[in-house]
Structure 1
Amino acid sequence: MRFIALVLPVMALAGPVHAQDAEAGKQAFTQCMACHNVEDDRNKVGPTLMGVMGRTAGAVEGYRYSTAMVEAGENGLVWDEESMSEFLKNPREVVPGTKMAFPGLKDDEVVANVIAYIAQFSE
């Protein structure tokens, strides 16, 4: 009983753990590749995601964003792990009016892995 009393507070501080596996993220990213490029700075149907982490939303030169995405960037949306995670889970909720038709990723681990993969191309 004493052991449980000591372990539970430590577990509560730790929070949920999501392993970030860039290789698994690369595999999951294949569903994004029709519209997005991450390994170079060419835009496709969607903007390049090369260098996306730390970038202001709606800021890739030469890409025609929705007004909603440009306004989100003007209002302070910068892509970091938290904002990207929320966007990947539900793009239309985070940026209502986005052109992105993808409905979102529902699995937190898959989201974390995709972020780990694309973050490699932002360093």
Structure 2
Amino acid sequence: MKRFTMAAAFAVLAAPAFADGHASTQGDAVAGEEQFNRQCVACHVVQDASGEVLAGRNAKTGPNLYGIAGRTIGSVDGFRYGDSIVDVGKADGVWTEETFVGYVQDPTGWLRATLEDRRARGKMAYQVRDESQAYDLYAYLSTFGEEEAEATN
């Protein structure tokens, strides 16, 4: 568990280095699209700033995943996050491949380790069981919003 805590802490601290919108990933975006359509669409949508739904079914249970790569954790305007994930964002936590994969595999466990608070809780109950699928999901989701990220750099 100590090794996981160290890895999670490093990922959060190193996150600003990846915040330029250039997501490096070891996943497969094509496989990630398939996984998104199986595992994520019930709760999440990928919707751009103009309101166009690019993936999903306009679900509102979870936050919009558009532009997740490099975004501050817990920062989608108008979404009601749990306190723990907001606290990670306030501590400069950014969605990187490492933070995303760790979070989606065990949301509450990841939050507890990252915040070093055994009472931290996540609202996301679903867990992506297969690590390679989590990497694939990140590869897919990181393709959305790249143009805007590149335009602002």
After superposition, the C-alpha distances for 1:10-37 in whole angstroms (9 at most, x for unaligned) are: xxxxxxxx95221111111121111111
Matched to 2:30, the amino acid is E
The residue number in structure 1 matching 2:19 is none
Count of aligned pairs: 105
Q: Offset at 1:113?
A: 0.8
The one of 32, 35, 46 equivalent to 1:28 is 35
Q: Once superposed, what is the RMSD of the aligned Cα atoms?
A: 1.9
1:99 has 2:149 as partner: no
Q: 2:82 and 2:124 mapped to 1: Cα distance? A: 9
Q: Percent identity?
A: 38
1:31-83 deviation per Cα after TM superposition (whole angstroms, max 9, x unaligned): 11111112435671110000111111111111111111111111221101111
Where does residue 108 of structure 1 map in the other structure?
Answer: 131
Task: Return the letter of the residue paired with 2:43.
Answer: C
> What letter corresponds to residue 40 of structure 1 in structure 2?
D
Higher strand share: 2
Worse overlay, 52-61 or 92-101? 92-101
| Stretches (4+) displaced over 6 A | none
TM-score (norm 2): 0.63
1-side partners of 2:26 and 2:82: how far apart? Answer: 33
Gaps of 5+ in 2: 1-24, 50-57, 112-119, 147-153
Written as runs of structure 1 = structure 2, the 5 A alignment for 1:1-123 is 20-30=27-37, 31-40=39-48, 44-95=60-111, 96-102=120-126, 104-123=127-146
Match of 1:12 in 2: none
What one-letter code is carried by the residue in structure 2 that aligns with 1:122? G
Distance, in Å, in 2 between the alignment partners of 1:52 and 1:19 is 16
Larger Rg: 1
- Give the TM-score, by structure 1 length: 0.77
Write the deviation string for residues 82-104 of structure 1: whole angstroms up to 9, x where unpaired: 111111111111123111111x2
Question: In structure 2, how many angstroms separate the alpha carbons of the residues matched to 1:116 and 1:35?
Answer: 19
Partner of 1:3 in structure 2? Answer: none
Report the secondary structure of 1:121's partner residue: coil
Distance 1:69 1:26, change over 3 A: same
